[in-house]
Amino acid sequence: MPDIYLISIGAGAFGFVVAWIIRSFTCIRLKKINKSLAGYLESEKLIKDTLLKENKGMHLQRETNDQLMAGEIARLKLINKRLDEDILLLQKNNEETEALLEAGQPVVHALKLQLIEANNYIARNKLQSERKAEEKISSR
């Protein structure tokens, strides 16, 4: 009978050791998986933070571009207003020139025509330079 007790105790101890080894390997494997998942989660958080920063940067850049474009639009509206005023002045000068021609002052009329041509030339050059500036802005 004592042999049965020894064999039973030995088998129990052997089973305990085998179970302990299996459990240890399982715990080590679970720790590795947990560590891998924690690293993956951390990398995803870093990617998310990076994308949020890039998104904020792009949003700020868009707002800056919108402000610049709004300023440019305001400047171009002022230029258009000035051009309209210049056109009105040219029309007024043309009407005055026609009145002088009818009044019989040909020398003054010739000078006025030269002034009108000069003003038209200046207006055309302004318009061309503004168009070139607009093209440079739009090409950016």
Query: What 3-state DSSP class applies to 16?
Result: helix
pLDDT tops 70 at residue 1 = no
Predicted local confidence at residue 106, as pLDDT: 73
Predicted local confidence at residue 84, as pLDDT: 87
Count of the separate structural domains present in the chain: 1
pLDDT tens-digit map of 77-125: 998 998 888 888 888 887 877 777 767 777 777 787 788 889 889 988 9
Predicted local confidence at residue 47, as pLDDT: 95
pLDDT tops 90 at residue 23 = yes
| Assessment of whether the complete model's pTM goes beyond 0.85 | no
Say if CB 134 and CB 76 are below 8 A apart.
Answer: yes
pLDDT tops 70 at residue 134 = yes
Which residues span the domain enclosing 65? 2-139
Whose CA is closest to 76, among 139, 137, 140, 123?
137
